[in-house]
A and B are shown apart, each in its own frame.
Chain A
Amino acid sequence: MVIAKAEWFKRKNGGFFSHKMPWQGIVYLIITVSVLLTGILISQDLIPNLIVIAAFLFLFTDAMNASLKSMDEREKQHYSIVMTNTAWGMIITMIIISIVLSNFNGIKANLSVLFIITAIVGGVISLVTRHKLERES
């Protein structure tokens, strides 16, 4: 944690639909996303884009680190299960779609399809796992 503090990301009640994050955390996340969007909108040159991506990655990693620190032991346990399931789901999806694409049109031509479907599958697995864990413990 360089800039962000764990208290900024500490949710008050926890739970699946609870997003009562302190205003500092919300502001930090808005700034992080704004940096990326501003970079995309303003410049198409390589160097400014690299600087913006580096700034975004720094802020994002810092926020993730602070967010992890703000979790209690039960939330951390849930988080690790969610991440494991999501990662496996995304890997399997990528392999299946790659095989399908290579048999039909080729992966290079449909790289965006591969990433979009993988991201959607990852998001769904993450949501379902979190929901199931919150209900069970």
Chain B
Amino acid sequence: MTQEELAEAVDVTRQTIIALEQGRYNPSLILAYRVTKALMRRYIEDVFVLDEIEMG
């Protein structure tokens, strides 16, 4: 799946997908869920990894 296709599937811009991929933007729970569904993964943790440092 291309960035363009994923962006269209989850209704965001390609720029937002790029920012997500590069870890420069933390998505809302709804967007994370949509991306997970669009990528046909079962759990959000399969796509997004929470950085221990970010948790504080």
Contact = CB atoms under 8 A, between A and B. Distances in A.
Nearest to A10: B13
B12 A137 contact: no
Contact of B12 (A15, A18, A73, A134): A73
Contact of A14 (B13, B24, B31): B13
B2 interface: no
Interface residues of A, number: 13
A18 B18 CA distance: 15
Chain B interface size, as a band, is 10 to 19
A11 B16 CA distance: 12
Interface of B: 11-16, 19, 24-25, 27-28, 31
Contacts, number: 35
A74 B32 CA distance: 13
Contacts of A75: 13, 16
Q: Which of A11, A18, A74, A136 has the most CB of B within 10 A?
A: A74
Q: Is the interface of B mostly helix, strand, loop or mixed?
A: loop
Contact of B16 (A12, A14, A18, A136): A14
A11 B13 CA distance: 8
Interface of A: 11-15, 18, 72-75, 134, 136-137
A13 B31 CA distance: 17
Contacts of A12: 13-14
